[in-house]
């Protein structure tokens, strides 16, 4: 918990002492980074479990390849939405 606090203080410390008053631009950039990063993290966790289950299903019956591939690609929409939000936030900068 202390490490997280130190990282947050270091990350937002430069924004607190900004001279030009444009702290909003920095926070928008942080929000865009969080949108992509957290979406990628969620996608990775989902694909790890789906991929393992899909390989087990394919090992039992090769007819399960199509549905397993579709289920493996579904979590990618999270990253696409995160990228879209990052672009929308970047347009406000």
* Pair of tokens at residue 26: 């920095």
Q: How confident is the model at residue 15 (pLDDT cuts 50, 70, 90)?
A: low
Which tens digits make up the pLDDT trace of 23-81?
A: 677 888 888 888 899 999 999 999 999 999 999 999 999 999 999 999 999 999 989 99
What is residue 68's predicted lDDT score, i.e. its pLDDT? 93
Three-state DSSP at 92 gives: coil
Q: Where are the alpha helices (DSSP H) in the chain?
A: 2-16, 23-60, 65-73, 76-91
77 sits in the region (left: phi over 0; alpha: psi -120 to 50; else beta) called: alpha
pLDDT at 21 over 60: no
Total count of residues recorded for the chain: 93
A 10 A CB-CB count for 83 gives 15
pLDDT at 1 over 80: no
* Pair of tokens at residue 58: 């394919």
> Any idea where the domains of the chain sit in the sequence?
24-92
**Alpha carbons 44 and 76: distance in angstroms, whole number:** 9
More confident residue, 57 or 89: 57
Fold of 24-92: F1FO ATP Synthase (1.20.20)
């Amino acid at each position: 918990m202390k490490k997280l606090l130190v990282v947050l203080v270091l990350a937002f410390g430069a924004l607190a002492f900004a001279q030009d008053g444009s702290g909003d631009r920095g926070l928008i950039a942080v929000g865009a980074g969080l949108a992509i990063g957290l979406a990628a993290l969620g996608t990775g966790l989902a694909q790890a479990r789906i991929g393992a289950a899909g390989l087990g299903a394919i090992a039992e019956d090769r007819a399960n390849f199509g549905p397993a591939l579709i289920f493996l690609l579904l979590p990618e929409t999270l990253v696409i939405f995160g990228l879209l939000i990052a672009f929308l936030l970047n347009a406000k900068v």
